[in-house]
Structure 1
C-alpha cells in the first residue's frame, strides 16, 4: 500500500469521517490500486529476468469488447516477455491507441490485408531488447536479446494469409530470411494450414499440395517442431459434431541452434477463450512451481463492498503507530478478502481447469454433450471475468 494511500486512510480514520468515505478516499484508492504493478511484476518478488517466454494468440479482432481485458488476464497469468497478437483487423494509428493501453511498453504493428490480418508484437524492454529488422502484412522479423545475458536469437512472427498466392510469397520470404541469417531462430505463427492429417479433424482432408509447400519451406529453414502439451488442436469452428472442424495451425517452430540455446523449452496450448483460437505459450526455461507467500496488494474491488470501511476503522487505535495500524490493516484485509472475494477467484480457477480438461477430450473424442458443456463453461467464464473486472 503506497504512502499517499496510507495517509488518506489514516486521515479518514483519525477524523472519524467514515460517512461518504468512498467519495473522499475511494477514487484515490482506486487510482493508486490500478497504478500498482501486478503481483508477478512486483519489485519485492524474486528476479523475473531469468523467466523468458513468448505467447502467441489469434484474437480474431482487437475491437472486441473483452479483448483488452483478456490480454491483461494473459499477462497476469503467464507474464509473457513477448506477446504476438494475430488477426487484429486493425493497423496504423488505431492499433497504436489500443496497444498503448496494454501492459507492454513497446509494440510493432503491421498493416492489415484488407479487412483481415493485422499482426502485433508487444514486449517490455526491462526483460528483452527487441530490434526490428523487417515486416510485411504477413510477417515481423526481429532480433531478441534477453536482458542480463549474451544470448541473441531471431524471432519471426507470422500470420499466413488464407490465400495461396500470398502464402507462396511468405514461404519465399522465409527462405530468404534463412539465407541471410545464421543464428538461433524461432518462427511463431498462425499458418492457416495444417501440416499433416493428424493436425485436422473433420471436413475435407488436408491438401497434399499445400502441405508439401509448407513442409518444403520448413525443411529449407531447417525448422523442427518441439511438440506441445494441452489440447491437440488450436482452432475450432465451434460447430456441432456433424459439422465440427478442428485444426492445429497455431504453433512454434525452432531451428537446432535455438534448441541448443534453450534445451528445456516447451510449448503449451492454453485454454481457448474469447476466440476460436487458443493462445500458445513457448516457455524457454520452465521451472517447477514453488509456492511463496503473495505480498499484500490493495485491491480496488474492495471499494465496492459496504463492509470494507469497517475493516479500515478497526485497524486504527489512538495509541497505535502508523506502522502498527498498517500491519493490522494488511492482516485483517487479507482475511476479509478471502471470505468476501476469494470465491470469485476460486470459481474462475475451477472453470479454467474444467475447460482445460474438456478441450483436451474434445480434441480426441468430440461429442455434442461435451461441446455444449464447453460452450456453457465459456459463458460462465465470461460472467466471472466480468465480475472480477468490475470488482
Structure 2
C-alpha cells in the first residue's frame, strides 16, 4: 500500500498528464492526492482513465488557480468525508477487516496574510475525529529555520504559529528520506530559494499502528514541488519473555521474606539462574 501526494502545478496539458502517469506506473500508489491541478472534474475524469484508477474525487479549480483531486483503486476501501478548496478528508482501510484510519490531503494557504486561517483549519480538522490520522500535502509553512535556503529567513512568527498548530492537533512530523527541500524557486539562479513546504504529519496512534512506515521524496522536474510517497507498514512484533525484576515494594509484604526463603530452600543444588526463575514464579 502506497500513498502519493504531489503539488503538480497543473494538469491542463498532455505533458503534465504523461509525467503523472509515468510516476504512477513506476511507484504504483493505490491513493494519489493532487494539489493545484488547475482543472475541473471533467478533465480529472480523463486523467483518471489515463492513469488507470477506479475512482476520482475532484475539487474544481477556480479559473487557472487551485484545484484538488484524489485518485484511488478499488483494492482499498476509501470514503470521502469532507472537502473544501484546501483539503480532502477521507477514511480508509487497506484490506477487509483491517483497521480504519483517517487520511487527509492538505493544502495550506500560500499567502502569509492567511497563515493563521491555515493553522485554524488544521485545528478544526483535528477536532472532527479521534481516529488514527495522517495528513499529507503542501502546508506552505516551515517548522524550523533550517528548512529554508536562500534569501531572507522565514518569519519566526510563522514558524512558531505552525509548530503550535501541529502540537495542538496532536500531530508529529514523520521523517522522509530523499531531498528535504521539496519546493524550489528560480532553480539554478543566484537568487534560488528552496523550502520544505511539503511534509507528512501523523498522530501518535497512527504512528504506533504503522510503526514500520516509510516515506520518501521523489525527483520530478515538471513541477517546482517534489512528490512525497508514504508506505504504511506495521512491523510484526514477536512475543518476548519478560525479564524478572524485583520490586522494592514487595519488602513491605509480611510474607515476602518467607516466600523467598521457602523457594530458595526448595531449589538447593540447582543452577542459580534456575533458582531465580523458580523464585520469580513463586512470588
Q: TM-score under structure 2 normalisation?
A: 0.78
1:282 aligns with 2:245: no
After alignment, is 138-147 or 230-239 more displaced? 230-239
State the Cα deviation string for residues 181-236 of structure 1 (Å, max 9, x = none): 11110010101222211111001111111222211211111111121111121111
Residue 165 (structure 2) aligned to one of 217, 228, 244: 217
Corresponding position of 2:4: 55
Are the counterparts in 2 of residues 58 and 190 from structure 1 also a CA contact under 8 Å?
yes
| Dislocated runs of 4+, deviation >6 Å | none
Q: What CA distance in whole angstroms lies between the structure 1 residues aligned with 2:232 and 2:179? A: 20
Alignment of 1:202-241 (within 5 A): 202-241=150-189
Alignment of 1:85-164 (within 5 A): 85-126=34-75, 128-164=76-112
Q: TM-score under structure 1 normalisation?
A: 0.57
Alpha-carbon distance change, 241 to 187 in structure 1, aligned in 2, over 3 angstroms: same
State the Cα deviation string for residues 343-383 of structure 1 (Å, max 9, x = none): xxxxxxxxxxxxxxxxxxxxxxxxxxxxxxxxxxxxxxxxx
Q: What CA distance in whole angstroms lies between the structure 2 residues aligned with 1:148 and 1:221? A: 29
Are the counterparts in 2 of residues 83 and 121 from structure 1 also a CA contact under 8 Å?
yes
1:65 aligns with 2:5: no
> Where in structure 1 are there 5+ consecutive unaligned residues?
1-51, 288-391
Are the counterparts in 2 of residues 138 and 158 from structure 1 also a CA contact under 8 Å?
yes
Rg bigger for which structure?
Answer: 2
> Which SS does the other structure have where 2:92 is aligned?
strand
Q: What CA distance in whole angstroms lies between the structure 2 residues aligned with 1:74 and 1:151? A: 28
Corresponding position of 2:148: 200
Q: What CA distance in whole angstroms lies between the structure 2 residues aligned with 1:247 and 1:151? A: 35
Give the count of matched residue pairs: 235
Residue 142 of structure 1: how far off its partner (Å):
0.5
State the Cα deviation string for residues 126-173 of structure 1 (Å, max 9, x = none): 1x1111111010111000111234211111101122124544333223
Alpha-carbon distance change, 166 to 144 in structure 1, aligned in 2, over 3 angstroms: farther
Higher share of residues assigned strand: 2
Alpha-carbon distance change, 169 to 91 in structure 1, aligned in 2, over 3 angstroms: farther
RMSD of aligned Cα (Å): 1.9
> Where in structure 2 are there 5+ consecutive unaligned residues?
236-283
Q: What CA distance in whole angstroms lies between the structure 1 residues aligned with 2:105 and 2:92? A: 12
Residue 77 (structure 1) aligned to one of 26, 40, 48: 26
Alignment of 1:254-269 (within 5 A): 254-269=202-217
Residue 251 of structure 1: how far off its partner (Å):
1.0
> Which SS does the other structure have where 1:243 is aligned?
coil
> Which SS does the other structure have where 2:190 is aligned?
helix
Are the counterparts in 2 of residues 268 and 282 from structure 1 also a CA contact under 8 Å?
yes
> Which SS does the other structure have where 2:163 is aligned?
helix
Are the counterparts in 1 of residues 21 and 50 from structure 2 also a CA contact under 8 Å?
no
State the Cα deviation string for residues 103-132 of structure 1 (Å, max 9, x = none): 211111113245321111110011x11111
Corresponding position of 1:316: none
> Which SS does the other structure have where 1:117 is aligned?
coil
